[in-house]
Amino acid sequence: MRKKVKEVLLQPLLIYPEKLPLALTSLSIHWFFNAFEDLLPDLMTFDSGKSVIHGKRLSDFQIIFVSLSYAANLINFVKMVKEGGIPLLKRERDKGMYPVFICGGTAAMLNPLPLTEIFDAVFVGEGECMEKDMKKILNMDSREELDSFLSSLSYCYNDIKPSADIVRAENGQFFVHSNKTLHKMGNTFDNRLIVELNRSCTSRCKFCAATYLYETFRVPEKERVMEYVDTAVSDGKGLALMGTSLGSIDYFDEILEKAAQKSVSISISSIKVKEINEKRLKLLKKCGVKTITVAIESGIPATRKAILKDISDSEILTALKMIKDMKFKSKLYFIAGLPGTEAVEEAQSVVDLLLFIKNNGGLGETSISVAPFVPKPLTPYRDFDIVNRKEYKKYMEILKKGVSKISSGIKIDFYPYRESELDAKFGFYQGEAFIKLITENI
Ligand code: SF4
């Protein structure tokens, strides 16, 4: 190693290559800070320049952990190391001259191998299963010892170990919540306390990595969550509940009831159509929720069935009627270009569905968000292509035109095609093609 470990900073550093406000909403950062609290952890973000807590530079650290959630994170990371005067490729970094970079996160789990060109090690899995090893790593005395230890880890990829197993925490064996130090810096949830309520998902939508990557649906231990909720509620602090299947958690309603009793504000990422009911909406109303987000994905029932999101038009209508009647706004998610679909027909089906909802009294204040279909590794749809640009454009035109005839008040957001294309390539490219993709997009 470049210096004896004891001579350099022992504080563990996590890089989250996004702007600070967004980074502060990431569960991985809060987990890291809680897990390493005794070691005075530090954070560097895309826009922080020096580290956020101790004001140090990249080169001040011996071991650096990097969390990658999306393709764009890696592009930002590359910019950061360039600015820090550190060569991007591992083979160009003389051992001992530069920090050791270890990455993890969802994006790393989806396509780990090409990342071994850049990182000294790539960890695949959930932090709870790595915590003890990460602490050992911070205390190693030589690079040889570190390399040999890394190669012994079942969940680690490096240049001499091209295979690894994803490790996942057991049900009830994780509990991620806001870290006190980070919480003081705010977050994009109006500074509510963040609580993770589940991993994986109770559904298995064929395009989505959440369930195929994280496998079994798991929740934290109820007692720990409720204790945290009780404290937050008695302190009058809001809660941001994070999870893919909130309505399937058997203590979800209890959390809402506790918060509602004290009018504590709650935010939720989304809720499934089948999990919406009047009682929940009433509680959410009392907790200050203004918008209910639901993912519908396609206007055609057969397409929804094919992707394993089996919700009927009438179930969608019932849910949206309740949302409208209780004066919430709704936000609806759709995907353009799902395998086996045709753009014109799909876009028209969304228009028809909205018309059906409107004609049956279910269309309130609504906005729509559309993303191009992007194949994800490990999912049943991994071998399909991203929707092509022309088809996406066609979908956009038909949807915009159709929706404008239904109501002038429906706002539509389209996820940028370029970013989706990058995501699709990032998930599958290997070797030189991967490195070229990254360097061309800096
Ligand atoms: S799309 Fe949503 S509901 Fe479907 S598997 Fe993914 S997280 Fe679950």
CA 368 to centroid of ligand 1, rounded, Å: 18
pTM: 0.94
Q: Which atom of ligand 1 is nearest to the CA of 204?
A: 5
- Name the residue with the closest Cα to ligand 1, atom 3: 203
pLDDT score of 7: 46
CA distance 122 to 351: 44
- Name the residue with the closest Cα to ligand 1, atom 7: 244
Q: pLDDT per residue over 165-174, tens digit each?
A: 999 999 999 9
- % of the chain at pLDDT higher than 90: 93
Q: Which atom of ligand 1 is nearest to the CA of 309?
A: 4
Let me know: does 435 contact 74? Beta carbons within 8 Å.
no
Residue to probe by mutation, ligand 1, list 196, 199, 200, 203, most atoms within 8 Å of CB: 203
Secondary structure (3-state) at 167? strand
pLDDT at 30 over 50: yes
pLDDT at 28 over 60: yes
- Name the residue with the closest Cα to ligand 1, atom 4: 205
CA 1 to centroid of ligand 1, rounded, Å: 44
Crossing angle of helices 71-83/417-428, nearest 10°? 80
With cut-offs at 50, 70 and 90, classify the pLDDT of residue 159. Answer: confident
Q: pLDDT per residue over 53-108, tens digit each?
A: 999 999 899 999 999 998 889 999 999 999 999 999 999 998 789 999 999 999 99
pLDDT score of 4: 45
CA 202 to centroid of ligand 1, rounded, Å: 8
Closest CA to 76 of 30, 120, 45: 45
Amino acid at 352: D
Q: Which atom of ligand 1 is nearest to the CA of 211?
A: 5
Amino acid at 368: I
Residue to probe by mutation, ligand 1, list 197, 202, 206, 211, most atoms within 8 Å of CB: 211
Residue-averaged pLDDT of the chain:
95
DSSP notation for 67-116 = E--SHHHHHHHHHHHHHTT--SSGGGS-TTTS-EEEEESHHHHHS-GGGG
CA 297 to centroid of ligand 1, rounded, Å: 10
Q: Which residues pair with 121 in a beta bridge?
A: 102
CA 375 to centroid of ligand 1, rounded, Å: 14
What domains can you pick out in the chain, each with its CATH number?
A: 5-157 (3.40.50), 189-285 (3.30.750.210), 290-442 (3.20.20.70)
The continuous run of DSSP H or E covering 413 comes out as: strand 411-414
CA dihedral 325, 322, 277, 229 (to 10 degrees): -50
CA 85 to centroid of ligand 1, rounded, Å: 41
Q: Which atom of ligand 1 is nearest to the CA of 208?
A: 6
pLDDT score of 141: 87
Let me know: does 117 contact 435? Beta carbons within 8 Å.
yes
Give the mean model confidence (pLDDT) for residues 312-324. 98
Let me know: does 192 contact 240? Beta carbons within 8 Å.
yes
Q: pLDDT per residue over 389-418, tens digit each?
A: 999 999 999 999 999 999 999 999 999 999
CA 203 to centroid of ligand 1, rounded, Å: 6
CA 200 to centroid of ligand 1, rounded, Å: 8
Backbone angles phi, psi at 372, to 5 degrees: -70, 150
CA distance 94 to 98: 7
**Which one-letter DSSP state was computed for residue 259?**
H
- Name the residue with the closest Cα to ligand 1, atom 2: 244
**Scanning the structure block, which residue is given the tokens 């709704």?**
330
CA 392 to centroid of ligand 1, rounded, Å: 22
Let me know: does 21 contact 186? Beta carbons within 8 Å.
yes
pLDDT score of 6: 43
Q: What order do you get walking across the sheet with 266-268 strand by strand? A: 193-196, 239-242, 266-268
Q: Which atom of ligand 1 is nearest to the CA of 244?
A: 7
What's the distance, CA 138 to chain centroid? 27
CA 97 to centroid of ligand 1, rounded, Å: 44
CA 244 to centroid of ligand 1, rounded, Å: 6
Residue to probe by mutation, ligand 1, list 201, 206, 218, 303, most atoms within 8 Å of CB: 201
pLDDT score of 9: 57
Which two tokens mark 253?
């309603």
Q: Which residues line ligand 1 (CB under 6 A)?
A: 201, 203-205, 208, 210-211, 244, 295
CA distance 237 to 234: 8
Closest CA to 283 of 306, 254, 312, 309: 254
Residue to probe by mutation, ligand 1, list 205, 304, 310, most atoms within 8 Å of CB: 205
Closest CA to 43 of 35, 53, 34: 53
CA 145 to centroid of ligand 1, rounded, Å: 42
Residue to probe by mutation, ligand 1, list 200, 213, 294, 309, most atoms within 8 Å of CB: 309
